Amino acid sequence: MHRPSAHEFLRTLLETLDDLPPDFVRRLEEVLKKEDGDRSQAIRRLFEEFAGE
């Protein structure tokens, strides 16, 4: 049985979601690749960034 990594799992999931902001998936993957810092804070900031003005 192939065990997907967390990134693979998330990518598969995001591909099924419609109407995500453009470039959101790529930016989220960038955040997940960074190993330093608080990942949950980085994810929160990304959500805020894509909430727009």
Residue 12 structure tokens: 């598969």
Which residue in 26, 36, 37, 48 binds another protein (CB under 8 A)?
A: 48
Does 11 interact with another protein (rule: CB under 8 A)? no
33 binds another protein (CB under 8 A): no
Q: Does 21 bind another protein (CB under 8 A)?
A: yes
Provide the token pair at 14: 């995001």
Per CB under 8 A, the list member of 22, 34, 37, 53 interacting with another protein is 53
Q: Both tokens of residue 13?
A: 């999931």
Distance CA 15, CA 11 (A): 6
